[in-house]
């Protein structure tokens, strides 16, 4: 599928030795290599939070904005031996640049995603490491945390279904659709985050695969917390998905 990107984003590319940085000149007027180093933000006392999980994610304060800095880490079997190095296949095929450009496109389509700020790739011979900075979504919580507290009502499930259908209708294949990557804010708006390896595709069976992956994630949460899978909630999600045509 050929993707025609919207024109509202103004990307700029700069090089610092072995590193390349992609950023949107409409969101930041400058970008520094040190922005992608957690040690820099810690030395400036600008780290305002951290996220648990496999990856390295910190929340930082820059002027009046809050950003999310994420270092790309490998998962699965390979991740046991190579934590954060990827095989070099060209700059535009790196994880960070692909995710940044996808987020830029989805933002241009007014889909509820975090705005992309900047992405960095550091080449090391035949491999590379990568980082991405996105905007922080204020007043949001993961659907996982809402489930943990037992506060996921029918409306929340239904809205998630409607939002997923909206992404799918735009051809967005989210490769890691789980309860941690679905956020809701205090106004009951739904967002999706973490689009690593995701892409725009023609309609196909991947839509069903997305929903099955989310269902497995929900069952896993129920198992880990000793609760029962919310069948009524899932039905409400499916109803929202089907009604959003």
Which residues are catalytic, by number? 176
Please tell me the distance from the alpha carbon of residue 74 to that of residue 55, in angstroms, as a whole number: 8
Please tell me the distance from the alpha carbon of residue 132 to that of residue 175, in angstroms, as a whole number: 17
- List CB contacts of 120: < 8 A, sequence separation 6 or more: 19, 20, 21, 22, 33, 36, 96, 130, 131, 132
Please tell me the distance from the alpha carbon of residue 120 to that of residue 142, in angstroms, as a whole number: 26
Q: Could you tell me if 16 and 37 are in contact, meaning their C-beta atoms sit under 8 angstroms apart? A: no
Do the strands 116-124 and 127-135 form a parallel or antiparallel pair, or are they unpaired?
A: antiparallel
Query: What are the tokens at 221?
Result: 């949460």
Place of tokens 């996220």: 51
């Amino acid at each position: 599928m050929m993707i025609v990107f919207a024109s509202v984003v103004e990307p700029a590319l700069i090089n610092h030795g072995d590193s390349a940085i992609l950023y949107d000149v409409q969101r930041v007027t400058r970008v520094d290599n040190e922005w992608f180093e957690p040690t820099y933000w810690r030395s400036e006392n600008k780290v305002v939070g951290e996220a648990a999980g496999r990856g390295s994610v910190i929340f930082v304060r820059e002027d009046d904005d809050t950003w999310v800095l994420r270092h790309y880490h490998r998962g699965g079997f390979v991740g046991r031996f190579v934590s954060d190095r990827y095989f070099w296949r060209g700059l535009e095929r790196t994880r960070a640049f692909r995710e940044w450009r996808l987020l830029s496109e989805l933002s241009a389509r007014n889909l509820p995603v975090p705005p992309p700020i900047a992405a960095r790739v550091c080449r090391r011979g035949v491999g590379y490491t990568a980082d991405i900075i996105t905007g922080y979504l204020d007043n949001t919580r993961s659907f996982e945390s809402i489930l943990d507290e037992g506060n996921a009502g029918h409306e929340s499930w239904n809205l998630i279904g409607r939002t997923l259908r909206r992404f799918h209708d735009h051809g967005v294949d989210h490769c890691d659709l789980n309860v941690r990557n679905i956020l809701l804010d205090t106004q009951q708006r739904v967002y999706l985050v973490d689009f690593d390896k995701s892409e725009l595709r023609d309609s196909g069976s991947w839509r069903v695969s997305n929903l099955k992956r989310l269902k497995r994630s929900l069952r896993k949460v129920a198992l880990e917390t000793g609760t029962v899978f919310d069948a009524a909630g899932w039905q409400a999600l499916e109803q929202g998905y089907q009604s959003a045509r």
